[in-house]
Structure 1
Amino acid sequence: MAALLAGVLAAPQAVAGGGASPAGVPDHGSSDVLPSLRRDLVAHYDFSHPAQGDPTVERDRGRSGTGIRLINGGDRMRVQDQAHRHSGSALQVQQINPATAGNDDWKAGIYDERAVESLRAFNGARAATVMGWVKMTGENPSPNSNTADPGDRYNAIGLAGVLSGDSNGHDVRALLELIQVNGELKLVALGRRIDGGASQTFAAEADWQTLLPREEWVFLAATFDYDTGEMALYRNGRPLPGFYTRTDDPWALAGDPEPDLTTAGDPRGIKIGGSFPQNTRENNPCNCRMDSLMFLDRAASPREILGQYRRVT
């Protein structure tokens, strides 16, 4: 399946890298991106730029040209909803059949078990940023379709992240999500420096439903500094008070060599709205909409994140 998906995406990825937008699709150029962020914007999806000849693929407005698949829902996942004043369409992701262990959830992303070379900026990276707009539109967290217990629910809600170089479609290097922390669902930044190694989580202190009220667009950002171990979360441009869930050294930062970087291997892809973008399993779906998802190969500063929020609002 991985080889098949990679083959299907090969041509659209080339289209997604640049050039004019398809007829009838507005192209906002770079006017909606803060100038200081543009050079380091590895991937950017506004869900208003389908690939020519294949509307199930979203073009990348970042520098890498990494097209992503709109999985299971195809072009129907592009909905008319404006997250901000520069918006065109938004992406709808959602659980489809809560009681069935199938592979029909709406999600987005790309996966290749041989690695996605266009995402090489995250190979041996010193830092990363994941940010974008999210609006909760349904029941979250979702019923767990992988168990027989009708009352069981997933312990997480997947938003957006970059996969590790050895990922099975779930493990990540940099991720925005909601997950159980000490028995309570929390908005978190979750990062992993070493493939196959431990992850670190920075969790927002505030109640997640206060941070992400239903039917309200919210701008979220997570930054990861793999050299210092520092992580941060932002909501509508402002930093969120939070805490690290581990107090040891999960990223193995102590000692030489310096600086500390991620594993020297290309990521296996990007996941949006749940795990397993190769569509072999359902996990942690989000009943929500997303827009203007941005992936950078450095940690954006607090001033830049506020500036990006203000630029489009």
Structure 2
Amino acid sequence: MSRARRPLVATAALLAAVVATSVAAPPAWGHGNRPRDVHPSLRHGLVAHYDFDHPVWGDPARERDQGRSGTTIDLVNGGTAMRVPDRAYRGSGRALQTRQVDPTVAGNDDWKAGVYSSTGVPSLGAFNAATGTTVMGWFKMLGDGPAPNSNTPGPDDRFNAIGLAGVLTGDSDGHGVRALLELINVDGELRLVALGRRLDGGDSQTFAASEDWRRLLPVGEWVHLAATFDFDDGDMALYRNGRAVDGFYTASGDPWLVAGPGRHRTTATDPRGIKIGGSFPQDTREQNPCDCRMDSLMFLDRVVPAHLVAAQYRYQTGRR
């Protein structure tokens, strides 16, 4: 009998160990949160993260979130063809390709990505009444300027901006944002900017890079960008390859209304989504398409300090 009991005892012990381990272990992180992809100090604040190596099972035209929110995004119009074999940094896999498809037609066929809900996206609730936000990721420009404007009859008309990535406001039509990285016309000159809005329906503020955007984002070169938005005190910052970018604010006064006493937060509404590579992720209009590639897009619910932006860049590039 003792021989018969030993396997049962061993099995019971093994099961107990498995149960104990499963109870004690923290939730599993996705591929995007492996050490080579996300610096440990950023993981707690990482609301959404897209590395474009994780298609939704059974629906590869959608991408799974590797952050904590589980916010799935759509690869709009291009579907699986938008995942391309191009490494932004050593150890990365595929990248996202976005582009304008037909500049002569006011249609809805541009390649872009994101998610949209007119009632707000509950999984993005971390940006509801937030004091800070950071948007960062890798970008490779393939075009040399804003795309032809497909919404106007003039053959020489062009959009005034190139959309990179951002979080929408709680009342957005698919264009208005709380936190955005983009290239936009500032006083007649295209500039790399961080554009933010604290209050739904309120004024935006823009922090524009002083340096020529073509030197910051040379065509055909992968560049790591980050934009931070401190909604409590009104500060914004831009970073390129881990280093702060000199710039200036385009709006005078107090557009975010943070001069008064108390803690200042964004409007207490869930964002209506995320837009990547252009506006209107619900695919109702074409606006500001980006002829570019992107990888490891991260959306955090806090202001990442300069030393950790640099640490994240070094973490992904191996320059430690």
TM-score (norm 2): 0.89
**1:165 CA drift (Å):** 0.1
Deviation at 1:298, TM superposition (A): 0.3
* Aligned: 1:142 with 2:151: no
Does the CA contact (< 8 Å) of 1:28 and 1:86 recur in 2? Answer: no
Q: What CA distance in whole angstroms lies between the structure 2 residues aligned with 1:29 and 1:297? A: 16
Give the one of 86, 98, 106 matched to 1:101.
Answer: 106
Give the counterpart of 2:91 among 72, 86, 98. 86
Q: Write the mapping of 1:98-137 to structure 2, written as runs, cut at 5 A.
A: 98-137=103-142
Given that 2:137 and 2:225 are in contact with CA atoms closer than 8 Å, whether structure 1 keeps it comes out as yes
Separation of aligned partners in 2, 1:137 and 1:205: 22
Q: 1:55-88 CA deviation, whole Å, 9 max, x = no partner?
A: 0110000000000000000000000000001210
Q: Whole-Å Cα distance in 2 between the matches of residues 28 and 290 of structure 1?
A: 14
Q: State the secondary structure of the residue aligned to 1:234.
A: strand
- Note if contact 1:194-1:263 (Cα within 8 Å) is conserved in structure 2: yes
Name the structure 2 match of 1:275: 279
The answer as to whether partners of 1:73 and 1:106 remain within 8 angstroms in 2 is yes
Amino acid at match of 1:237: G
**Whole-angstrom distance in 2 between the partners of 1:50 and 1:236:** 28
TM alignment of 1:58-77, pairs within 5 A: 58-77=63-82
Deviation at 1:157, TM superposition (A): 0.2
Q: TM-score, normalised by structure 1?
A: 0.91
| Counterpart for residue 178 of structure 2 | 173
Runs of 4+ in 1 over 2 A off after TM superposition: 18-21, 27-30
Rounded to whole Å, the distance in 1 between the matches of 2:119 and 2:270 is 9
Aligned to 1:184: 189
Deviation string, structure 1 residues 96-152 (Cα, Å, up to 9, x no partner): 001110000000000000100000000000000000000011342100000000001
Write out aligned runs for 1:1-313 (5 A): 27=31, 29-31=33-35, 32-256=37-261, 258-313=262-317
Counterpart CA distance in 2 for 1:102 and 1:151 is 18
Q: Gaps (5+ residues) in structure 1?
A: 1-17, 22-26
Whether the 8 Å CA contact 2:228–2:236 is kept in 1: the answer is yes
Partner amino acid for 2:277? G
Deviations 1:8-40 (A, max 9, x none): xxxxxxxxxx8798xxxxx35421100000000
Pairwise CA RMSD? 1.2
Task: Give the structure 2 partner of residue 10 of structure 1.
Answer: none
Distance in 2, matches of 1:28 and 1:277, equals 23
Equivalent position SS for 1:118: helix
Identity among equivalent pairs (%): 66
Amino acid across the alignment from 2:278: G
* TM-superposition CA deviations, 1:270-296 (whole Å, max 9, x none): 000000000000000000000000000
Which blocks of at least 5 consecutive residues in structure 2 are unaligned? 1-26
* Structure 2 SS opposite 1:202: strand
Contact 2:33–2:67 under 8 Å retained in 1? no
Give, as a single letter, the amino acid of the residue that structure 2 aligns with 1:308. Answer: Q
- 8 Å contact 1:234–1:240 — kept in the other structure? yes
CA displacement 1:158-214 (0-9 Å, x = unmatched): 000000000000000000000010110000000000000000000000000111001
